[in-house]
Structure 1
Amino acid sequence: MSEAATLVAETKPQEAEHFDVLVAGSGISGIGGAYHLTKQCPNKSFVVLEEQESFGGTWLTHKYPGIRSDSDLFTFGYRFKPWTGTPIATAAEILKYMGEVIEENGLAPRIRYRHRIVSASWSSGDKLWTIQAVRKDTGEAVRFTANFLWMCQGYYRHSEGYTPEWPGMDRFKGLIVHPQTWPEDLDLSGKKVVVIGSGATAATLVPAIAGKCAHVTMLQRSPTWFRTGRNAIEIADELRELGVDPAWIHEIVRRKILLEQDKFTRRTFTEPEGAGQDLLAQVRAILGPDYDMGTHFTPSYRPWRQRIAFVPDGDLFHAIAAGTASVVTDGIEGFAEDGILLKSGKLLEADVVVTATGFHLSALGDIDFEIDGEPLAFSETVTYRGMMFTGVPNMAWVFGYFRASWTLRADLVADFVCRLLNRMDEKGARKVTVALRPEDKDMPLLPWIDPEDFNPGYLMRGMHLLPKRGNKREWQHTQDHWREKDELPAIDLDDPAFVYE
């Protein structure tokens, strides 16, 4: 039992507050879920519990310089709320957008901030979830009961990021910082900065601090795929000049982007070499023909086997071309007092080291789950389309896309949950669980994601925490939005996979 759960258990029980639906988290998924409940299930009572002091999730907790989306906001934004800014947005712009959704739809009274959920217990006798939480501002233990639990908490631990242990870190006389816990008073003026990593965080941070410190070096063990282009969409600008309704522009641009993304994703499977050369050409156009592309920007894996970060207006590569930033591709032997010892034998001097090395996967919010008094191990369940789990009643989970915007799937899952809630009402059912059908009994059970398809470090480190998948589409999280946009709305809620009581 976690420390917080122990605290709740030792606190005098309070009378539970009851809701039809309890939404965990007020990030992009939770706020979207709350909106859809008000529109599609207007008679349902619900509450959103949020651990932080406000809404926003990632966009609230991450404070590092330059933080921005690496997905375009026409698809990362909600389908019901037109995006009118530049495609790649800052955290502040995304928070403003989410705040407008809350205000325009009267969602604020539904959200309880500073409420950390520590446990969730299902009772088959009562057909209810009991949720134990702690108010972070007062330490008070509070209880809720809910007919349905909607997990929108994201997929990584917000309290701390992942930093590998390297020899000699305790000897380093400088500062080691993870972007997830960036000190607000950190002054990089005159400092030599090394950013370890080459994913979306590093690609954002490096150009944001280049020119504001003595020098910044992106240190990578191996190259990453990037794509670059203008932070603008020509057709959106033209339609705005024509005075077209913003809702129409939003939908037209979404469809255009989704079609282009799907075509490119499929090309990375059918023509991986050609797709890779196109991505390299974008970078070479900025860095010039003499830059060592082979060492620093030519990955050994095919595009989209890991996430491809979009670099708006090529700012990372312009910083490298200008000499305010540089890239070193090498392994880390350990730390010295004044920098990082590389496997090549060189010393990379540093005053500040930023470990943009990823995060800890959090399976359903690090919450203690029980079903009828027995601890729930999600790794022993099988996923239903990445939304529900065998043997886990009245619960849905939002896990978005890797190769497309997270919110695209959050909207689809919201439609599914609302439709399921309404179907339960039509049937007079108080409980619904997904279960393998007779024809699924001998289905091979596999890891959540096929590592040959997608294999970022955070997933590989945490695969043992995640549910299993089958070899049929119903029992997989396919990551294929182009098909799921038609498949999820067409799910037959009377299929034998759904067991109602």
Structure 2
Amino acid sequence: MAEHLDVAVIGAGISGIGAGRYLRTELPAKTFAILEARSASGGTWDLFRYPGVRSDSDLHTFGYAFKPWRHRESIATAPRILEYLHETIAENGLDEHIRYRHRVVGAAWSSTDARWTLDVDHDGQRRTVTANWIFAAGGYYRYDQGHTPEFPGRDRFPGPIVHTQQWPGGLDHTGRRVVVIGSGATAVTVVPAMAATASHVTMLQRTPSYVLPMGTHDPIAAALTRIFGPDRGHTLTRHKNITQQRAVWKFCRRHPGLARRILRRITARQLPPGYPVDEHFNPPYPPWDQRLCISPDGDLFAAIRSGTASVVTDRITTFTETGLLLESGRTLDADIIVTATGLRVQAFGGAALTVDGTPVTLADTIAYKGMMLSGVPNFAYAIGYTNSSWTLKIGLLCEHFCRLLAHMDAHGHRVCRPEPAAPGMTTRPFLDFGAGYIRRAVDELPRQGDRMPWLTSMNYRDDVRLLRAATVADPELRFTA
């Protein structure tokens, strides 16, 4: 017989682990399982294996509110983050709830039964799981492959061509010439990490990104911990960093010209005298149209100053037998080419959803409170912030989700479905974000409305009021028994 659950959580990454912890502590009577397609927990932090992989947010806010970050480093490497997640699983007894190698292929809602039936692939065998609720915590990108543009002449290059999402074990770049294609957070991480032992690393970018040096260690956090203890110190540091993140983002959006000049000045101080800053580190878009890239302790700039790394801003004409030919006519010789060319967006792990036999077309739905979809009953999802630490919003969503389920139990409701009061409401893209991986998939994602609760908020303070303080009952959230 099919296993029946109160909640089926999809994904055992940082969001799914957090959801499991909140369900375990806030709703201990609920049955739940975390269905993980891969054979290990940790999501992003177990998947990516490229050199130097790390967070680009401080762990006092990227970590959970309920579990203080104890390490000295605020910007942490993937092994440290993975250790932190494994500790969270163990401390909250989540091991027994995680079903590894369980990939959700599809989910069908039946109004007659008031439940979901999930079609699950487990090691090539199909299984059925039923659930009153689905909580989709699988992130927003495909785990099996990243985005790689079509490069002319790719087959001509005899050396390894490696995408950062599929990093091969045992790749030795010691003493070799490396070209990293890309300019985002991944490229900014890979270049200095490889430059430590490579002959030379070139970051080839089509468009520059804003790169901001940031200290790996937070002296204020260390002082607060020393004075107030680890728990209170963590809370104070978390509030400080939330305020700081929001202030920087608001300043950049309200005063883009001034913010650009300040960022340029900071960058110029990190680079050798006479360096062409505007060519390589002055993007054509305003700050925070895309996420700012973090360089821990200025490691990228240090590699450039030492001569072990360089930046080239140009376009690729073709791959060659020795490297790359660029539009300017310049050639880049390489022994290894790394494509740090981004992610492929995939909503809800690619699972096909149907409601009473009708397929759900995500582009026809509207996001409710940034966590549910119009017309789709008993379905919630976790998408974090793009302008701050991802996990800040995940915690609020998990809290609200648990409060919603408790409200339904208290009032005898079995079904919850968001429905706009005004069907003709003006909509816009789900995420107002300029990153390439979002632009490539924006037409396949849900929409957001022009007013609360149909806006996808990226403001932590607003979300605290909406998701933590406000009641879960809402005229546009339809409850039925």
TM bucket normalised to smaller = over 0.9
* Residue number in structure 1 paired with 2:425: 443
One-letter amino acid of the counterpart of residue 78, structure 2: A
Contact 2:225 2:234 in 1 (8 A): no
* Residue number in structure 2 paired with 1:104: 91
Distance 1:241 1:408 in 2: 24
* Residue number in structure 2 paired with 1:320: 304
1:61-460 map, 5 Å: 61-85=47-71, 86-136=73-123, 139-242=124-227, 244-437=228-421, 440-450=422-432, 454-460=433-439
For this pair of structures, how many residues does the alignment match? 479
Residue 480 of structure 1 pairs with residue 465 of structure 2: no
Residue 499 of structure 1 pairs with residue 478 of structure 2: yes
1:278 Cα offset (Å) = 2.2
1:184-227 CA-partner distances (Å, limit 9, x unpaired) = 11111232111011111011111111031111000001110111
2:19 aligns with one of 20, 30, 33: 33
1:79-121 CA-partner distances (Å, limit 9, x unpaired) = 0000011110011000111111111111110111111111111
Distance 2:285 2:205 in 1: 15
One-letter amino acid of the counterpart of residue 128, structure 1: R
Distance 1:117 1:310 in 2: 34
Q: Which deviates more, 224-233 or 15-24? A: 224-233
Contact 1:434 1:498 in 2 (8 A): yes
Contact 2:163 2:340 in 1 (8 A): yes
Contact 2:224 2:237 in 1 (8 A): no
Contact 1:132 1:143 in 2 (8 A): yes
Contact 1:262 1:482 in 2 (8 A): no
SS across alignment from 1:20: strand
Q: Which deviates more, 472-481 or 489-498? A: 489-498
1:259 Cα offset (Å) = 0.9
Contact 1:380 1:467 in 2 (8 A): yes
Distance 1:253 1:124 in 2: 46
Distance 1:102 1:302 in 2: 40
2:440 aligns with one of 457, 461, 468: 461
One-letter amino acid of the counterpart of residue 488, structure 1: L
1:378 Cα offset (Å) = 0.9
1:289 Cα offset (Å) = 3.3
Contact 1:264 1:275 in 2 (8 A): no
CA RMSD of aligned residues (A): 1.2
TM-score, normalized by length of structure 2? 0.98
1:264 Cα offset (Å) = 1.1
TM-score, normalized by length of structure 1? 0.94
Question: Any unmatched runs of 5+ in structure 1?
Answer: 1-14
* Residue number in structure 1 paired with 2:31: 45
1:485 Cα offset (Å) = 2.0
Displacement over 3 Å in runs of 4+ = none
Cα 1:71–1:99 shift into 2, 3 Å: same
Distance 1:186 1:112 in 2: 31
Cα 1:240–1:251 shift into 2, 3 Å: closer
1:122-150 CA-partner distances (Å, limit 9, x unpaired) = 111101101111112xx222111000000
SS across alignment from 1:93: helix
Distance 1:191 1:476 in 2: 49
1:280 Cα offset (Å) = 2.2
1:368 Cα offset (Å) = 1.6
1:230 Cα offset (Å) = 1.5
1:74 Cα offset (Å) = 0.3
1:249 Cα offset (Å) = 1.0
SS across alignment from 2:426: coil
One-letter amino acid of the counterpart of residue 96, structure 2: P
One-letter amino acid of the counterpart of residue 321, structure 1: R
SS across alignment from 2:79: helix
Contact 1:384 1:475 in 2 (8 A): yes
Distance 1:252 1:289 in 2: 39
Residue 470 of structure 1 pairs with residue 449 of structure 2: yes
Contact 2:19 2:398 in 1 (8 A): yes
1:284 Cα offset (Å) = 1.8
1:277 Cα offset (Å) = 2.2
One-letter amino acid of the counterpart of residue 441, structure 1: P
